[in-house]
């Protein structure tokens, strides 16, 4: 006898996907569906037919002892133009970030989908300004902008995908960098800021949360939502006056509400970033904004015992209360901390992606007491660091709507 196994129920129910043209609306992109399969396919019944020449051949029901389930076709993913949309990798108040693949090159990208219907005109101006700034900046340590698409409801910003997360999260998980590691990583940040300043752009929100690792663990600067073209600092009437950024990284002149030079405010923030890298915590940190303001205005912070004197001098120079006394990016490049060999005080630890879950086994950075003291900390001052509780969420970048005003 010859037998043929025939599925009696093999219909598939396919879900629809977003078409490439026109672009999908807000509902399609913010709640992406997946293909489904009918329940009848999970346990199909089979009929066995006798194909012999005998006229008495009859069909009978038969369930094989072991069988291979019918192959299920892959659910097609939604598309946005030439991009195939994958999973969600980030969410904001008015936006969602999707991992996507460029169907022509196969390159993985990040697409930020912004719901314009929930934003007012001033916030939209900020977003458009960030896109315009990124179009002009081409540097290996600045996130790359590939394309901007717009529909009546959505603004779609296609950017470079940075898979290894924030510097903030890395330090919170693995602990502080050694000075040797920090010098390499901080050079990435400094190069990006120096390039932006040379293009007439100030960032105004430099912080560890806006520094991301790429696939090779190089640092790239993101989020130019507070960025702007800095005016000529030699003309007092063209100073900036917007109170913006993240409070633990904000310069004293910003807390005072005084007109300020954007590049000098960025240098202060860079000093805080360097401190976070080598110490594993913030130099100025308080739950209440008035207390934080007092700490920043006094420019008083503690230095851990393990920090080299040359690194301490650079940080104190960058965190000068008087803006004119702070170095330029070029002066930082030529500082001894970059040009001279470091003392053998650094822990020998390679930089690994945060997914490895490896933690630093060295001495944890203490939580500073914010007394007005410039003394070095002894071993008895050490406590347990908790940088993760210091995430700079006191100011929502989308909530600050003030425009720059020339004074």
Instruction: Give the residue among 177, 166, 159, 174 at the shortest CA–CA distance from 212.
Output: 166
Q: Which residues contact 368 (CB under 8 A, 6 or more apart)?
A: 281, 283, 285, 301, 302, 377
**The one catalytic residue among 169, 188, 194, 205:** 205
- Residue 400 burial by CB count (10 A; 0-12/13-18/19+): exposed, middle or buried? middle
Cβ contacts of 154 within 8 Å, gap of 6 or more: 23, 24, 25, 26, 29, 113, 114, 115, 116
The answer to whether residue 205 is catalytic is yes
- Find out whether 112 is annotated in a ligand binding site: yes
Catalytic residues: 205
Which residues sit in the known binding site? 112
Residue numbers in the known binding site for ATP are: 112
């Amino acid at each position: 006898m010859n037998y043929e196994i025939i599925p009696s129920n093999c219909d598939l129910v396919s879900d629809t996907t977003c078409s490439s043209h026109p672009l999908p609306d807000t509902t399609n992109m913010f709640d992406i569906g997946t293909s489904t399969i009918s329940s009848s396919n999970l346990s199909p019944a089979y009929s066995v037919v006798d194909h012999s020449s005998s006229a008495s051949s009859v069909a009978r029901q038969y369930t094989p002892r072991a069988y291979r389930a019918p192959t299920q076709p892959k659910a097609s993913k939604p598309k946005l133009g030439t991009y195939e949309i994958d999973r969600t990798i980030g969410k904001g108040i008015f936006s969602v970030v999707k991992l996507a693949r460029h169907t022509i090159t196969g390159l993985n990208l990040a697409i930020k989908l912004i719901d314009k219907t929930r934003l007012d005109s001033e916030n939209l101006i900020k977003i458009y300004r960030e896109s315009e700034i990124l179009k002009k900046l081409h540097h290996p340590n600045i996130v790359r902008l590939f394309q901007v698409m717009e529909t009546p409801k959505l603004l779609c910003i296609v950017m470079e995908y940075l898979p290894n997360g924030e510097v903030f999260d890395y330090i919170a998980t693995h602990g502080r960098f050694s000075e040797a590691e920090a010098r390499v990583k901080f050079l990435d940040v400094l190069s990006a800021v120096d390039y932006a300043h040379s293009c007439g752009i100030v960032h105004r929100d430099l912080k560890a949360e806006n520094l991301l690792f790429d696939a090779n663990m190089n640092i790239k600067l993101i989020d130019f939502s507070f960025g702007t073209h800095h005016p000529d600092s030699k003309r007092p009437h063209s100073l900036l006056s917007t109170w913006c950024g993240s409070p633990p990284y904000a310069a004293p002149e910003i807390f005072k509400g005084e007109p300020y030079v954007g590049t000098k405010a960025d240098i202060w923030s860079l000093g805080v970033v360097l401190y976070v890298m080598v110490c594993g915590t913030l130099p100025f940190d308080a739950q209440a904004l008035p207390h934080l303001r007092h700490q920043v205005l006094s420019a008083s912070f503690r230095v851990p015992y393990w920090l080299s004197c040359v690194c301490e001098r650079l940080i104190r120079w960058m965190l000068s209360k008087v803006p004119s006394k702070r170095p330029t990016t070029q002066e930082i490049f030529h500082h001894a901390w970059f040009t001279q060999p470091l003392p053998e005080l650094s822990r020998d630890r390679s930089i690994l992606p945060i997914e490895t879950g490896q933690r630093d086994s060295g001495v944890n950075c203490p939580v500073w007491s914010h007394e007005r003291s410039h003394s070095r900390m002894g071993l008895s001052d050490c406590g347990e660091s908790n940088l993760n509780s210091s995430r700079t969420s006191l100011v929502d970048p989308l909530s600050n709507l003030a425009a720059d005003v020339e004074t």
